[in-house]
Structure 1
Amino acid sequence: MAENVIEAQRRTTTGSAEARRTRRKDKVPGIFYQRGKASQPFLVDSKALLAVVHAESALFDVRFDGEAVQKCVVREIQWDPITQQPIHVDLMGVSMTEKISVAVPVRLIGVPYGVKTENGIMQHLMREVEVECLPSDIPDNIELDVTELKIGDSLHLSDIHVDKVKVLGDLERPVVTVTALRIVEETPAAATEETAAAEPEVIGKKAEAEEAEE
């Protein structure tokens, strides 16, 4: 499991106005939490944060003001809905001897039989899975082989087996499924109604003449 480190600066001023000023400097405000310790507001470079967020490993190091590094994971991150840039992050410090729960991305391997041969479609329903394990055992991702799935088949949380890792949640919840491609055919009745609705209404002198003939 690869590890990353980011440099952070403790901050003493908080509030929305201060947060806006820091974002203009490409800094992201955040809070560092750890069991038994007071929470610590901090600032981190936006690019450095994105690097660890998009890294394969969920576990990384944070160093405050050049001091000793601390192991942590992202607890929550908020994104700007327009720019899609991080605007706030919560980090959770971890102990290497205590189990934690963390979200791990799901990676699908192969092309389902039901897609390749039966003209079905694959639906990837869960992109992340919540697991519990020691920080050193956090997998970079969870791989699921979907090549044998036929139309109507699914893989559930109960099908995930990773050494030293406990999968959390409803084990019957589907992670990926293959379904038949639905083709909606137009019925003759519907086509007749659409044709009738498409015919223009006759107005003016011609309509008056037709009414007189009746």
Structure 2
Amino acid sequence: MAFSLKAESRKETTKSDIKQLRAKGRVPAVVYGQKVASTVITVDQKELLSLLRQNPHAIIDLDMPDGSGRQPVMINEIQRDQLNRGLLHVDFHQINMDEPVKTVVTLEFIGEAEGAKEGGIVQIQMHELEIRCLPNQIPSSIKVDISNIGLGDNLLVNQLSIPAGIEVKSDSNDLVLTVLAPQKETAVEEPANNEEKVGQAETSNEAATEGQPV
């Protein structure tokens, strides 16, 4: 899926000016690469947020403001507010479509694990996979069929089915998913035992006081 953003030029300004830009719905950014000199820009906040929700690692067709036309870029870094997680700044890296790039791709788990049908608990340990490939080969996600994973089984990176042309950069022995056996519940009978002890205590007291003067 192709994504596009229109960039607007900006000057290196004060913190007050940057704050006003954000208030107008613009996100300060910078774009750089082999074919693009480091350029400060702004992009529309709503459009960027929509892109991030769909695929934060996608290739973006960035319409440059300096007349250099459109350039393929990827997001290199995002700065967010620590309190409200609002977008503060974005770094875009211009890429060459004929050169491999390193990125991460979402793992999409499909099916129901056999172990889950037996009462097991599926625990996902890895949601994204680091890969290297040509930009036009980056998948929107990598599907992982977990239907054959049984109770107590693990799924490692080296067991994933990876599309041709993609090199996995994550450790091959990293744990992707595991199915834990259900914990056995132990019956608690303390209330019944307590009632029995109370009854025994009352009987003992009656026997101890029997025959004593009132």
Taking a change above 3 Å as real, the CA distance of residues 44 and 172 of structure 1, as seen in their structure-2 partners, is same
Instruction: State whether residues 35 and 94 of structure 2, in contact with CA within 8 Å, keep that contact through their aligned partners in structure 1.
Output: no
Q: TM-score, normalised by structure 2?
A: 0.79
Q: Does 1:145 align with 2:149?
A: no
Taking a change above 3 Å as real, the CA distance of residues 113 and 14 of structure 1, as seen in their structure-2 partners, is farther
Q: How many Å separate the matches in 1 of 2:131 and 2:87?
A: 24
Taking a change above 3 Å as real, the CA distance of residues 15 and 109 of structure 1, as seen in their structure-2 partners, is farther
Q: Does 1:180 align with 2:181?
A: yes
Residue 22 of structure 1 is matched in structure 2 by 21
Q: Which amino acid aligns with 2:79?
A: Q
Q: Which amino acid aligns with 1:96?
A: M
Q: Secondary structure at the match of 1:90?
A: strand
Q: How many Å separate the matches in 2 of 1:181 and 1:19?
A: 53
Q: Secondary structure at the match of 1:23?
A: helix
Instruction: State whether residues 9 and 66 of structure 2, in contact with CA within 8 Å, keep that contact through their aligned partners in structure 1.
Output: no
Q: How many Å separate the matches in 1 of 2:48 and 2:9?
A: 15
Q: Which amino acid aligns with 2:17?
A: E
Structure 1 residues 154-183: Cα deviation after superposition (integer angstroms, max 9, x where no partner): 222112322110010211001111112335
Residue 93 of structure 2 is matched in structure 1 by 92
The share of aligned pairs that are identical, in percent, is 29
Q: CA deviation at 1:187?
A: 8.1
Q: How many Å separate the matches in 1 of 2:99 and 2:122?
A: 37
Q: How many Å separate the matches in 2 of 1:24 and 1:143?
A: 39
Cα-Cα RMSD: 2.3
Structure 1 residues 84-137: Cα deviation after superposition (integer angstroms, max 9, x where no partner): 332221111110111000111110011111112x21111111111110000010
Instruction: State whether residues 154 and 179 of structure 2, in contact with CA within 8 Å, keep that contact through their aligned partners in structure 1.
Output: yes
Q: Which amino acid aligns with 2:121?
A: I
Q: How many Å separate the matches in 1 of 2:43 and 2:104?
A: 22
Q: How many Å separate the matches in 1 of 2:35 and 2:50?
A: 29
118-127 or 60-69: which moved more? 60-69
Q: CA deviation at 1:140?
A: 0.6
143-152 or 83-92: which moved more? 83-92
- In the alignment, structure 1 segments of 5+ residues that lack a partner are 196-214
Q: CA deviation at 1:79?
A: 2.6
Q: How many Å separate the matches in 2 of 1:163 and 1:123?
A: 28
Q: How many Å separate the matches in 1 of 2:182 and 2:87?
A: 38
Residues matched between the structures, number? 189
Q: Which amino acid aligns with 2:113?
A: P
Instruction: State whether residues 3 and 58 of structure 2, in contact with CA within 8 Å, keep that contact through their aligned partners in structure 1.
Output: no
Q: How many Å separate the matches in 2 of 1:16 and 1:154?
A: 50
Q: Which amino acid aligns with 2:168?
A: V
Residue 210 of structure 2 is matched in structure 1 by none
Taking a change above 3 Å as real, the CA distance of residues 180 and 81 of structure 1, as seen in their structure-2 partners, is farther
Q: Secondary structure at the match of 1:32?
A: strand
Q: Secondary structure at the match of 2:22?
A: helix
